Amino acid sequence: MSIYVPNTDREQQEMLEACGFQSFDDLYALIPEELKRKEALDIPEGKPEMEVRQLLQEMAGKNRVYASVFRGAGAYRHFIPAIVGSVTGKEEFRTAYTPYQAEISQGLLQSIFEYQTDICELTGLAASNAGVYDGATAAAEACEMCRDRKRSKALVSASVDPKILSVVRTYAFGRDAEVVLIPERDGVTDLDALQGMLDDATACVLIQQPNYYGCEENAARTAEIAHSAGAKLIMSCNPIALAVMKTPGECGADIAVGEGQPLGMPLQFGGPYLGFMAADEKMTRRLPGRIVGETTDMNGERCYVLTMQAREQHIRREKAGSNICSNEALCALTAAVYLAAMGPEGLRSVALSCHANAHYLRNALSQAGLRPLHDRPFFHEFVTQADRAELVPEILQALDREGILGGLDLGEGRMLWCATEMNRRASMDKAAQIVKEVLCR
């Protein structure tokens, strides 16, 4: 099969006749006449391929491509080895949609199984599903996993990504469930407040590790507090950070979720991205979406199947715990290929580089006049505080003029900065110098 498959008028007619029709009008005979467009579409004449390419390049030239990026907040700029695109760009992967006749699609099922294995190794938990739409969806689905007739309330830390909180609240609205914010204190979840908020209606506690401000949460202590009240702990994790931090399994989490975009997916305008989900053995049967398992066929050969299908919404809709009915298969494959290409040591090297660069950047910005807001361990994001809120737009504009995308304006003079392995010290020094010049005006 080719990416570009044209067909002639004669071939179209042969296909119609093979289906039992003589014309396209016969094919669409069941559609009411009032719904059919009578006049021809106003489509411009086609252009030569070279002219089309030039036109698209002109349109693409309107995009702003930054030489240096110091912004994260949920989407991160990492180096992607060339082999990732080479493998995932193969037509047999790019054209595959979803395995409705699953066992025929052994190659696709194996790729999902490999991805699930990677996620289990990263999170230290027993089982993973085939992925969901994005990290925020994964967090919302995890909250749904924990709810039952007696417990329906979710306690969500105020230090999680606002996009995650928004999606969790949207899901809860549809279920008529309660979402309550745990206060944040000095950049992390207020665990004293959490202890006073837990009750018999609490189904789960959701924290982010590292959190939205880049700070490391005391996940193990949070798990102890949640479990003492009979609630589950959900950890929303950065997958790169998991290469050097304690896994959710080691911290006592029941469910781990997160945004898979850092695993080989470039920054794009909204995606597609990948939400990963993993759970301990007790929660495995409540994982939404697809789960691929390994077994043997009638000849004793290794093969792959979709497991626990009886709990899927397309078989037992009235008992479904989720409306998820698809998975981001190509994105999951991308994550699996990226992790295979990097290996454990490569991923650890990336994480250590991110950590080192972020600390270097924070020190440089501090010397330039931006005060670090939190004095806590952090991974590759951190918040700075300017003396006056109006200085933040001036800093961002000055950086923008030099081709640098600065931190995210959080309001009240605060900025959320990020550094990854892609940031060189020269570019960080340049950014700090620009900040210093703005602050010294």
pLDDT above 70: residue 339:
yes
Residues 268 and 355 in one domain: no
Average pLDDT of 31-52? 90
Least confident residue range of 90-99, 135-144, 213-222, 241-250: 90-99
pLDDT-derived band at 313 (thresholds 50, 70, 90) equals: low
Q: Which residue has the higher pLDDT, 391 or 306?
A: 391
pLDDT exceeds 60 at position 2: no
Give the domain extent around 294: 82-338
Say whether both 296 and 352 belong to one domain: no
Task: Note whether 119 and 237 are same-domain residues.
Answer: yes
Q: What is the pTM of this model?
A: 0.88
Residue 74 lies in a domain: yes
Are 13 and 161 in a shared domain? no
Query: In this structure, is residue 51 part of a structural domain?
Result: no
Query: Which residue among 338, 369, 385 closes a domain?
Result: 338
pLDDT at 97: 61
The number of folded domains in the chain is 3
Lookup: tokens for 347 = 């991923």
Is 53 within the bounds of a domain? no
224: in domain? yes
Boundary of a domain, candidates 270, 304, 338: 338
pLDDT digits (tens, 9 = 90+) for 396-424: 999 999 999 999 999 999 999 999 999 99
Task: Grade residue 1 by pLDDT with cuts at 50, 70 and 90.
Answer: very low
CATH number for 237: 3.40.640.10
Which tens digits make up the pLDDT trace of 250-307?
A: 999 999 999 999 999 999 877 889 999 999 999 999 999 889 999 999 999 999 998 8
* The residue type at 3: I
Q: What is the pLDDT of residue 209?
A: 97
Q: Are residues 421 and 282 in the same domain?
A: no
Is residue 214's pLDDT more than 50? yes
Q: What was the pLDDT predicted at 441?
A: 81
In a domain, 43, yes or no: no
Q: Are residues 134 and 213 in the same domain?
A: yes
314 confidence band (pLDDT: 50, 70, 90) = low
Is 213 a member of any domain?
yes
Residue 228 is assigned to a structural domain of this protein: yes
Q: Is the pLDDT of residue 311 over 60?
A: no
Domain boundary at 338, 359, 377, which?
338
Whole-number percent of the chain with pLDDT over 90 = 81
Q: Which residue has the tokens 């995650």?
A: 164
Average pLDDT of span 305-328 = 71
CATH number for the domain spanning 435: value is 3.90.1150.10
Do 72 and 93 have their domain in common? no
Give the chain's radius of gyration (CA, Å). Answer: 25
Mean pLDDT of the chain: 93
Q: How sure is the predictor about 3, in pLDDT bands with cuts at 50, 70 and 90?
A: low
Same domain? For 382 and 332 the reply is no
Is 139 in the same domain as 260? yes
For residue 174, what pLDDT is reported? 86
135 and 6 assigned to the same domain = no
Q: Are residues 321 and 284 both part of a single domain?
A: yes
Residue 58 lies in a domain: no
Claim to verify: residue 326 and residue 351 sit in the same structural domain: no
Q: Given a cut of 90, is residue 318 above it in pLDDT?
A: no
